[in-house]
DNA sequence: GGATTGACCGGAA
DNA sequence: GTTCCGGCCAATC
């Protein structure tokens, strides 16, 4: 079996990747989750592992709802992510100087309300 | 098989 | 407020 050929076809994510993508797809609008949170919800892997999956297979899920623990969008995709936050009404904090980031206090998912 | 990379996290200076 | 460092785990070369 072509270990690199099949997965390199960009149509068959790994078992771990499927779990990550499925969880990201469950994040409602206006809410976000940190990479480390997804790993903790899955009960396996780590923040770094989730980032690796998102970079490779995140194209099929609302990746902008996945941010760093600081509430900052993925490195290299901040511009695109901000566009979605403004459209979905995701709570943002900070200013232009400090750099706008998602208000994890209110937008973190799953939250007190679920 | 091993070595390197990466859309990370938390703490310390 | 910022910058630097080690640790973490899966995917990739």
DSSP secondary-structure letter at A71? S
Question: Tokens standing for A15?
Answer: 């078992």
Q: Which of strand B's nucleotides are less than 7 A from any protein C-beta?
A: 5-10
The predicted pLDDT at position A10 comes to 55
Q: What is the pTM of this model?
A: 0.92
Burial of A3 (0-12, 13-18, 19+ CB in 10 A): exposed
pLDDT string in tens for chain A (114-residue length): 444 445 554 568 899 999 999 999 999 999 999 999 999 999 999 999 999 999 999 999 999 999 999 999 999 999 999 999 999 999 999 988 888 999 999 999 998 777
Out of 1.10.10.10, 3.40.640.10, 1.10.3720.10, 3.90.1150.10, select the CATH number for domain A3-107. 1.10.10.10
H helices within chain A, ranges in order? 3-7, 15-24, 35-42, 47-57, 78-88, 104-107
User: What is the residue extent of each domain of chain A?
Assistant: 3-107
Residue-wise burial string across A10-25, b where 16 or more C-beta atoms lie within 10 A, e elsewhere: eeebeebbebbbebbe
For residue A61, give the nucleotide whose C1' atom is nearest its CA: B7
């Amino acid at each position: 079996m072509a270990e690199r050929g099949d997965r390199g076809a960009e149509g068959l994510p790994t078992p771990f990747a499927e779990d990550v993508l499925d969880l990201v797809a469950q994040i409602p609008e206006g809410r976000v989750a940190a990479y480390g949170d997804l790993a903790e919800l899955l009960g396996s892997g780590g923040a770094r592992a989730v980032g690796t999956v998102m970079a490779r297979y995140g194209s099929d899920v609302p990746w902008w709802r996945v941010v760093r623990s600081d509430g900052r969008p993925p490195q290299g995709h901040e511009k695109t992510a901000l566009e979605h936050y403004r459209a979905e009404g995701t709570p943002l904090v900070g200013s232009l100087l400090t750099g706008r980031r998602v208000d994890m206090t209110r937008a973190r998912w799953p939250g007190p309300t679920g």
